[in-house]
Structure 1
Amino acid sequence: MPNRFTYLLLLFSLLNISLLPGCRKNDVKAEDMKPAFKTVGYIMIGRPDVVQSAAQIDFSMITHLNLAFVNPDSAGHFADNPVVHQLVKMAHAANVKVLISIGGGSIPAYFVDYLADNKRAAFVQSLVASATNYEVDGIDVDLEGSAINQYYAAFVKALSVEMKQRNKLLTAAVATVYGNAFPDDALQYFDFINIMSYDKTGPWNPSNAGPHSPYDMAVNDLAYWSGRSANKSKLILGVPFYGYGFGANNVTSSLPYSAIISAFAGAENNDQITMNDGEIMYYNGIPTIKNKTALALQKGGGIMIWELLQDAPGQTSLLKNIHDVIKQ
């Protein structure tokens, strides 16, 4: 049987081992604990050539793909869409997380009925079943304007419970213009929020011509939502891959970034161009996109893109320039 001296030697050895550099918890570097910076890209699944177009995306440059929009029919059911299955498979092959996005700016009028107390539980189960069917990694809630009603917080909470049980993400698309409508007790349930920092003006307001997504809007939007969220890693700054044009006699138009730079040499280095008919097209060129990405790195947790398939190829790609800034 060991004597007291043996016990003391053993105890001393154990204490020394516990103090070795490789065993100290505080040796973990702070940067290793930081949440990864996200690049979230939306795709409109209603495009006729969406699968072929998506195949041209360099998925190594994004972390999350949001498929917009997967909405119920008037009976609250979600029809199976083969296109969604194909896009999920494509993104997962590149280790990109995929979310189905519900709602949108042109939400079906009947959608909000399913948030009410008497329909919410069944609707949430139907939504969860759709997410399971598509084998996605989460759900993105893009409810805007009047759709953020008295039932919004209860809906988000109920959906969050189901998502967490399945280890899936729950995110939201938000805009500062109706930021006060979002209850604080709803925001806490989202893993992160995609800030729609664009559409300050547009074809719906032809008398208010000008930039729809200027840099100072991004600054102000991040500041506002920072005051609503305790963690900057949850703030994903949205940027547009399209422009709005304003001309005489209230003539307006919209164009994807790819079409703008294809028609006008050097347009990728500016934020506006005068078109052949005198209409002024406002958008975000490479310098502004880079500056916004740097801002998001400093003040937020990621960049969100509306919409990926509006990008240009090669060196003028906005996604490539976003990726270059992130990797600097």
Structure 2
Amino acid sequence: MKKQIVLFISLLLLLSQAQGQSLKKSDFKVVGYYSLKAAMTADLKTVPFDKLTHINLSFLNPDTLGNFNQDLSALEPFIKAAHKHGVKVLPSIAGGGRHEYYHKLLRDENRARFINDLLLVSLKYNFDGIDVDIEGSDIDENYENFVVGLASVLRPHKKLITSAIAIFYKDQLSDRALAQYDFMTLMSYDHTGPWRPSKPGPHSTYEHAMADLDYFRSQRNIPKEKIVLGVGFYGYGFGPELTSKAASMNYGQIVKTFPGAEKTDQITMPDGMIMYYNGEETIRKKTLLAKENASGIMIWQILGDAAGDRSLLGLINRVAYSK
């Protein structure tokens, strides 16, 4: 009888610990952007589903007339594998850069059809919602009505609506539009880059992350539960002269090419160029910042990570889910 009681108590403790871990993972999001094209042919054993809560597939866009002609059936194994691990999958629309045809699609006369087509895509391929990554000059006077309309058709089907936002176009994002999202991923990177060779330096510092979070939390009153801090798994290189062409490398390439690079945030390359990125310590600090002031970490993008012990995604998980 005593053995049975001991076994019963042990079982209860194990269940309690498992529930605690599950609750912690559901409370802290780890959102990873992953190439839609790569997902169609991915070796599923190499995708870190166990370290993610959400995957945003970049990017799903219609043609200039608004038609979604892509056959996405090849995504079925990827989506099934993600769901098996409890990971939600959302296609992300638009993306960085200009998509002039979005101005036409979001107008009154075209908006309802475009929204309905997004809903149909979500239902047909068993996506968990839509991620809206309309940025910069693509945001116009019709953006708010588009977001309100999209939220109204997704929610009855228990689908998420999320968005990637940035401080660079903060004045274009209305409070009403932001209120529609289940959560927003804050792109706290690209504060400089190859498009700005006259401003060399780090593009994604810890201080940038603090300032970006402070604006959206304090001045736009976005609650902690609805904002996720974005980090970049890549770097930008400048120099040695202001006239030198800038370059970019993903984090995995950086640490593979330059042993020990994971221990710092910048390296000087053989030609004198300085590559700026986020190493382990900065990612650790940003994850702790997100635990305190946000509800998760977003990564642009998962395929830029390093393997093994130098994986930043692995580090994020260890920091996020530790006591």
With normalisation by structure 1, the TM-score equals 0.87
Of 137, 147, 151, 1:146 maps to: 137
Q: How does 1:9-158 map to 2 (within 5 A)?
A: 36-47=27-38, 51-52=41-42, 55-79=45-69, 80-158=71-149
Q: Tell me by how many angstroms 1:54 deviates.
A: 5.7
Q: 2:109 is paired with a residue of what secondary structure?
A: coil
**Counterpart contact for 2:24–2:321, Cα < 8 Å:** no
Instruction: Look up the match of 1:233.
Output: 225
Q: Mark the CA change 1:33 to 1:199 in structure 2 (over 3 Å): closer, same or farther.
A: closer
| Residues 262 and 154 (structure 1), Cα distance of their counterparts in 2 relative to 1, 3 Å cut | same
Distance 1:108 1:305, change over 3 A: same
The amino acid that maps onto 1:99 is L
Q: How far 1:57 sits from its partner (Å)?
A: 2.5
- Partners of 2:46 and 2:26 in 1: CA distance: 28
Asked whether 1:169 is paired with 2:163, we answer: no
Equivalent in 247, 264, 268 of residue 253 of structure 1: 247
Letter in 1 for 2:209: A
Question: Contact (CA 8 Å) 2:97, 2:135: kept in 1 or not?
Answer: no
Question: 1-side partners of 2:25 and 2:268: how far apart?
Answer: 43
The CA distance in 2 between the partners of 1:289 and 1:51, in whole Å, is: 29
CA–CA distance in structure 1, aligned partners of residues 208 and 41 of structure 2: 33
Q: How far, CA to CA, are the matches of 2:76 and 2:296 in structure 1?
A: 26
Provide, for residues 76-129 of structure 1, a one-character-per-residue CA deviation record: whole Å limited to 9, x for no partner: 111222343333223112210111100101343212211000100011001111
Change (3 A) 1:34 1:316: closer
Amino acid in the other structure paired with 2:95: G
Aligned 8 A contact 1:67 1:84 in 2:
no
Cross-structure match for 2:6:
none
- Structure 2 CA distance for partners of 1:204 and 1:124, relative to 1, 3 Å: same
Please give the alpha-carbon distance, in whole angstroms, between the structure 1 residues aligned to 2:99 and 2:24. Answer: 41
Structure of higher CA gyration radius: 1
* One of 160, 167, 177 as aligned partner of 1:186: 177
- 2-side partners of 1:111 and 1:151: how far apart? 10
- Deviation, 1:50, is 6.2
Which residue among 263, 274, 281 is the counterpart of 1:280?
274
Alpha carbons of structure 1 residues 230 and 175: separation in structure 2 relative to 1, 3 Å: closer
Question: For the residues of structure 1 that align with 2:40 and 2:24, how far apart are their CA atoms?
Answer: 37
Long gaps (5+) in structure 2: 1-22
Identity among equivalent positions (%) equals 45
Tell me the amino acid that sits aligned with residue 95 of structure 1: G
Q: Which runs of 5+ in 1 are unaligned?
A: 1-31
- 2:13 maps to which residue? none
The 1:119–1:244 alpha-carbon spacing in structure 2 relative to 1, beyond 3 Å, is: same
* Counterpart contact for 2:32–2:56, Cα < 8 Å: yes
Aligned partners of 2:155, 2:269: CA distance in 1, in Å?
49
Q: How many residues align structurally?
A: 297
Distance 1:106 1:95, change over 3 A: same
CA contact 1:65–1:96 (8 Å) conserved in 2: yes
1:208, 1:55 → 2: CA distance?
Answer: 41
Aligned-partner Cα distance in 2 for 1:78–1:54:
26
Q: 1:83 to 1:33 in 2, by over 3 A?
A: closer
Aligned to 1:13: none
Q: Give the residue type in structure 1 aligned to 2:171.
A: N
For 1:233 and 1:63, locate their aligned partners in 2 and report how far apart those are by CA, in whole Å: 15
1:89–1:239 CA distance, 2 compared to 1 (3 A): same
